[in-house]
Every structure is written in structure tokens, then in C-alpha cells.
């Protein structure tokens, strides 16, 4: 009995963390005022290709669960212990998941995602996860777009009020009643004939798209605050 106690303790902690995170997401989701920018591009790409790759920075995961919950996405979630609670939370909001990484020995995960995209199931991926460095595009998402022929849509959000965790990615937790702007970038296409030597250059190009999207979204949230104070 004593030997099994730590296992039950771990399961209880996982259940409690999942419960608390899910409650906080719902409270924030139901009280937030959300503005959408360029959201129509998502359906345009899905209509043309049948599926889409949504990519966002790792620090956006928490509230992306709420904002992207109605798009029928399958999320790539780390197979680490930390990924267990994240997987549970995603499941509570109707997501399917592939466990693993597309960069660290993640060929099986990459193959699963390609198959899903071919089956017209859209996927969500954090191209700087699961361990960083933050806001640096790893090759996995570019290879996924290359082999599947499906474009990447960068996605970002900003909140008027939020907490930042002391984690490697400085994870964002929007506060209840915050104003939130979510932005969808233009489709980013990766040619099937892309050579291995050119992959890093495409990663840099995609990084620039992310930076532009983040800058625009930050400006929009600042404008909301300025207009509200007039």
C-alpha cells in the first residue's frame, strides 16, 4: 500500500491541476471581451485545402484552448510529464491530441500529423515547444507543411490584463474580464521541393511573420485601451 501512495498522490495532483485550470479558462472565457482579426482566412484555407496547420508560440497555449476550441483541431502535446496535465485540459475542451514532438526524435509524431492533415483534420502546433528556446521556429512545423502540402496559419493573441508565469516561456494567463484580441496571419506556404539546406531560411521567414503578427496584435490591444479611456 505504501508503495502505491505516490502514484495516487500524483494522479490526484494531476486531476486537481486539470480541474483548476479548466475552471480558470472557463471563467476567463465567459467574462472576456474578444475581438477577432482576419478570422475568415481560417475557413478560406480549410475550404481550399481541407485542413490547416495553426501555429502559435508556446506561451499562448493556456488561453488558446478556449479561443480555438471550436475549430476541430488536433493538438500536438509533449509526451513529457508536464504534458499530461495539458493533455487532460485540452481533452476537457473537446480537442484530440497527438503526443510527442516534431523536432526531438519526433518522426512518428510528424507522420501522425501528416496523416491527419491528409484526412482533412486540422492540427495545432507550437513551433518553439516543448522546451524552447522561446519564439524560435523549430524545423518541425516547416517540414510538416512541406510534406503535407498544407499551409501554416500563424496565430497570436494579447490580453489587456494578464499574469506571466516564471517558466521558460513566460507563459501568459489572461485575467478574467480582460479585453482580448486574437489574430490570424496570412497562409504561409512551404513548397514540396524545398531542400533541406533551405529549411532554416524558411524558419526565419516564418519567425518574421510571427513577429509582425504579434506587433500588430499588441497595437490593437493598446488601441482598445486608449479608446476606452477617451
Per-residue pLDDT at 105: 55
Please state the length of the chain: 230
- Give the residue-averaged pLDDT of 84-105: 85
Task: Count the domains in the chain.
Answer: 1
> What are 174-228's pLDDT values in tens digits?
999 999 999 999 999 999 999 999 999 999 999 999 999 999 999 999 998 766 6
Asked whether the beta carbons of 153 and 56 are under 8 A apart, the reply is no
Does 33 have pLDDT greater than 50? yes
* Per-residue cell: 203: 524558419
Residue 172 has pLDDT above 70, yes or no: yes
CATH number at residue 211: 3.40.1130
The residue segments making up the domain with residue 96 are: 5-229
Per-residue pLDDT tens digits for 5-15: 578 788 888 88
Sheet holding 33-37, edge to edge: 33-37, 179-184, 152-159, 53-55, 123-125, 74-77, 96-99
- Under the banding of pLDDT at 50, 70 and 90, the label for residue 1 is very low
On average, the pLDDT of the chain sits at 92
What is the per-residue pLDDT for 228?
Answer: 62
Query: For 116-131, what is the mean pLDDT?
Result: 94
pLDDT tens readout for residues 52-84: 999 999 999 999 999 999 999 999 998 776 678
Amino acid at each position: 500500500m505504501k508503495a502505491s501512495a505516490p502514484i495516487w498522490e500524483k494522479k490526484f495532483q494531476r486531476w486537481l491541476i486539470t480541474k483548476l485550470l479548466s475552471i480558470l479558462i472557463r471563467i476567463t472565457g465567459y467574462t472576456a471581451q474578444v475581438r477577432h482579426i482576419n478570422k475568415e482566412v481560417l475557413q478560406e484555407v480549410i475550404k481550399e485545402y481541407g485542413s490547416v496547420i495553426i501555429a502559435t508560440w508556446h506561451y499562448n497555449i493556456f488561453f488558446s484552448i478556449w479561443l480555438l476550441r471550436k475549430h476541430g483541431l488536433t493538438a500536438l502535446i509533449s509526451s513529457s510529464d508536464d504534458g499530461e496535465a495539458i493533455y487532460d485540459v485540452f481533452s476537457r475542451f473537446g480537442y484530440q491530441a497527438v503526443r510527442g514532438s516534431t523536432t526531438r526524435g519526433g518522426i512518428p509524431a510528424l507522420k501522425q500529423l501528416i496523416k491527419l492533415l491528409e484526412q482533412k483534420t486540422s492540427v495545432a502546433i507550437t513551433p518553439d515547444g516543448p522546451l524552447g528556446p522561446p519564439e524560435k521556429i523549430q524545423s518541425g512545423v516547416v517540414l510538416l507543411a512541406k510534406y503535407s502540402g498544407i499551409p501554416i496559419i500563424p496565430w497570436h493573441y494579447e490580453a489587456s490584463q494578464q499574469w506571466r508565469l516564471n517558466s521558460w516561456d513566460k507563459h501568459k494567463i489572461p485575467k478574467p474580464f480582460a479585453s482580448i484580441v486574437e489574430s490570424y496571419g496570412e497562409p504561409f506556404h512551404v513548397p514540396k521541393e524545398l531542400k533541406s539546406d533551405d529549411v532554416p531560411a524558411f524558419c526565419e521567414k516564418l519567425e518574421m511573420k510571427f513577429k509582425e503578427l504579434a506587433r500588430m496584435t499588441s497595437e490593437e490591444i493598446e488601441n482598445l485601451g486608449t479608446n476606452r479611456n477617451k
